[in-house]
Amino acid sequence: MKKVTAISLFVVSFSVLVVLFLTLDFFSETETGTNGAMKSGSIHAEVPDPNVPESEPEEITTTASLMAVGDILIHDYVYNQAAIGNGKYDFTPMFRLVKPYLESADLTMANQETMIGGTEIGVSTYPSFNSPFEVGTTLKESGVDLVTIANNHTLDRGEKAIMNALDHWDEIDMAYTGAYRSEVDRADIRLIERNDIHFSFLSYTYGTNGIPVPESKPYLVNLIDIDLIKSEIDEAKRLSDVVVLSLHFGNEYERMPNEQQKLLASEAAEAGADIIIGHHPHVLQPAEWIENTDGSRTFVVYSLGNFLSGQRRDYKDIGGIVQIKAKKVVKGDEVTVSLEEPAFIPTWVDRQYTIQPMFQLADQQQVYSEIKQHMSQWIPDMQFIEN
């Protein structure tokens, strides 16, 4: 009886030892993580083969085209031509020939120089402008995505006109920059994304025709202040791939930029502005590349002239559409953005205030050739769209 008991104890003890051995071997291969998941033991981790090179990250390239047009300056000649009765206006015929081009870009912007305060406060012409809401609606329907509204006529009809205009821009879902409802609105840098490329937009003017900006409401219009501009470019750069800066500057009716324009553009470019669009001279001024000290370059058009206005002769009825393409290359954590393929479409406003591409006008070919040379004198490879 004692012999059987001893054998039984031996068998039981041996079985316990086997179970313990198997259990210890199992836990040497796996361990339970804090979240309950089973993780492979280090003794079984795969060792990378040093002879097999790591795979290259995929390179992804996207592009987006930006178009911009000059001053929308609605004199009485223009809104009277657009009047259809009962206080209503139709500006669509004036844009019908350029609409296909404005719609062709991924993103299009315009300089709306006159406030669209609407008929409620009475439309008016120079020197104190106020325009119908229908101007804004037509721009939206013609392919414009954003308007710049910091200029010397922003305060012509006071805060009421500005607020009416902003209400209408919001109603038609049109982005705007340069004049705002509040400091909170002004601090909200406008961003638009196209094809995974993010554009930011800033706008400033040299002044407001002697009308003082209310001290308690500086947000009503952005004035040119290089320190402010540099600060906001820096913030815009943090938020976007391409910073687009609109400057209302220069001397009226001068076809070449002055030294002050060049200096301001150079400082803004060095601060990080990628594209600079100029307004105010009411005539075309050339485009150029500004080479920055960090190796980047900035595309600038010093003035896009009048796109639609009641002004005539001496190049004041000639404007244009500028186009530039942004290219973004992403490879792993590396992102590079560049600008390429600057192009231009000179335009002319006829006696019915229809905006016409100049290449289509047989009787304007001599002037057209002159304008092409004028706009490309600092960028010889600038293309001119003629289809």
Tens of pLDDT along 247-261?
Answer: 999 999 999 999 999
Angstrom CA distances, 199 to 13, 91, 233, stand at 77, 29, 12
Of 94, 76, 90, 98, give the one whose Cα is nearest residue 133. Answer: 90
Q: What is the pLDDT of residue 282?
A: 98
Burial of 160 (0-12, 13-18, 19+ CB in 10 A): middle
Q: What is the pLDDT of residue 77?
A: 97
Fold of 59-384: Purple Acid Phosphatase; chain A, domain 2 (3.60.21)
Distance CA 144, CA 139 (A): 5
Q: With a cut of 50, list the residues of the chain below it in pLDDT.
A: 1-13, 16-43
Coil, helix or strand at residue 213? coil
Token code pair at residue 121: 């406060």
149: which residues sit within 8 A by CB, 6+ positions away? 112, 115, 165, 176, 177, 178, 179, 203
Angstrom CA distances, 203 to 48, 219, 286, stand at 54, 12, 20
Distance CA 307, CA 179 (A): 21
Q: Mind listing the pLDDT tens digit for each residue in 34-79?
A: 444 433 344 455 666 667 667 788 999 999 999 999 999 999 999 9
Distance CA 217, CA 186 (A): 11
Dihedral angle, C-alpha 369, 358, 248, 343, nearest 10 °:
-70
Distance CA 355, CA 358 (A): 9
Q: What is the pLDDT of residue 5?
A: 44
Q: What is the pLDDT of residue 35?
A: 42
Determine what percent of the chain is predicted with pLDDT higher than 70: 86
